[in-house]
Amino acid sequence: MLGCTTGHRFDLARQGYVSLLSGRGTAHRSDTADMVTARTRVFADGLYSPLQDAVARACIDPAPGIVVDAAGGTGAYLAAALGGSERIGVSLDLSKACARAAARVHPRAISVVADLWSAIPIADGVAARVLSVFAPRNPAETARVLAPGGAWVIVTPNPGHLAEIVEPMGMLRVGEGKSDRLEADLRADFVVEQTSVVTARRELSASRLADVAGMGPAGFHRTRDELAAAARALAGDGSVAATLDVTLTVARRR
Ligand SMILES: C[S@@+](CC[C@H](N)C(=O)[O-])C[C@H]1O[C@@H](n2cnc3c(N)ncnc32)[C@H](O)[C@@H]1O
């Protein structure tokens, strides 16, 4: 059990994570167990490894401090960021299914269920890096937990991301105005230090295609059977090509 100075007590789940949600829970939607299983298979096949490598490179830094993966999902990016360093990492996610996966992702990773919109449950100024990968962002809380000189590593999809499969698989398009929203999030407390585009072409079998669609928002509104049928129609017994196309932004806290 964990406790705080104001007397709250939080149980450690058998699966190795701690939930900091209050009894009232949350109104927000978070990833389901099926989405986590799909995501785990996609990552195990290395389909997103160029992106995980890019995040890891953005976290190489001798400065002290922990790494916080905000809305970290299965914690795969956190594990890449911790790599061989001595750092400790914390994966935060609203989803218990994600927290279960993140609890096993790296020996120096701690997994926490928390709602990013309330607060990031981390002390002021202790993080060398905060990661926001395909994730909701809370700029004020991110600035608060970053150490002076620490950096926010953000991954956002470009319009070409998975463009070949978005429509046939019933996935969401990248919304217009995403880069404006990022700029607005960074304006008050951050200076952009680096932006890079990461692209990679992937061959997806029908089952991996269903996973790539099902691990994202399509997993909320299409059943696994619907996704599998759409994937078979597209890839048959072979495969279909899809392009990863994202922007990685490193923004330093002022
Ligand atoms: C698209 S997934 C990205 C996960 C991970 N960063 C990755 O790329 O593998 C978005 C994540 O945000 C989490 N999430 C959504 N709303 C949240 C909130 N209010 N607080 C914390 N996590 C949240 C979801 O549960 C999900 O794991």
- Binding-site annotation, residues for S-adenosyl-L-methionine: 48, 74-75, 161
| pLDDT at res. 24 | 65
Contact 115, 82 (CB under 8 A): no
- Rounded Cα distance, 173 and 196, in Å: 21
For the stretch 71-89, pLDDT in tens is: 999 999 999 999 978 999 9
Give the pLDDT band of residue 177 (cuts 50, 70, 90).
confident
Q: What percent of the chain has pLDDT over 90?
A: 82
H helices present in the chain, as ranges = 33-44, 49-58, 76-82, 96-102, 139-145, 163-166, 178-187, 206-214, 218-221, 224-235
Mean pLDDT of all residues in 212-218: 96
In-domain check, residue 249: yes
Contacting residues for 155 by C-beta, under 8 A, at least 6 apart: 51, 55, 77, 131, 132, 133, 134, 246, 247, 248, 249
Cα 39 to ligand 1 centroid, rounded to whole Å: 12
Q: What is the average pLDDT value for the chain, to the nearest integer?
A: 93
Cβ of 30 less than 6 Å from ligand 1:
yes
Cβ of 172 less than 6 Å from ligand 1:
no
- pLDDT higher than threshold 90 for residue 26: no
Tally of domains in the chain:
1
- Rounded Cα distance, 154 and 120, in Å: 16
Give the pLDDT band of residue 201 (cuts 50, 70, 90).
very high
Give the pLDDT band of residue 9 (cuts 50, 70, 90).
confident
User: Which two tokens mark 61?
Assistant: 């830094």
Give the pLDDT band of residue 23 (cuts 50, 70, 90).
low
Best residue for ligand 1 mutational test, from 116, 129, 155 (most atoms within 8 Å of Cβ) = 116
Mean pLDDT of all residues in 237-245: 97
Tell me, what amino acid is at 207? S
Q: What is the CATH number of the domain that holds 74?
A: 3.40.50.150
- pLDDT higher than threshold 70 for residue 217: yes
In-domain check, residue 167: yes
In-domain check, residue 33: no
Tell me which residue has its CA closest to atom 9 in ligand 1. Answer: 73
Mean pLDDT of all residues in 42-67: 95
In-domain check, residue 38: no
Give the pLDDT band of residue 202 (cuts 50, 70, 90).
very high
- Rounded Cα distance, 137 and 21, in Å: 18
Q: What percent of the chain has pLDDT over 70?
A: 98
Q: How far is CA 61 from the centre of its chain?
A: 21
In-domain check, residue 63: yes
For the stretch 92-134, pLDDT in tens is: 999 999 999 999 999 999 999 999 999 899 999 999 999 999 9
Look up the domain containing 216 and give its range. Answer: 2-22+46-253
| pLDDT at res. 32 | 96
In-domain check, residue 34: no
Best residue for ligand 1 mutational test, from 36, 94, 174 (most atoms within 8 Å of Cβ) = 94
Task: Indicate which atom in ligand 1 lies nearest the CA of residue 36.
Answer: 27
Which of 95, 112, 105 is CA-nearest to residue 17?
A: 112
| pLDDT at res. 25 | 62
| pLDDT at res. 211 | 98
User: Which two tokens mark 251?
Assistant: 């923004």
- Rounded Cα distance, 208 and 162, in Å: 13
Contacting residues for 145 by C-beta, under 8 A, at least 6 apart: 68, 120, 122, 123, 124, 125, 126, 127, 130
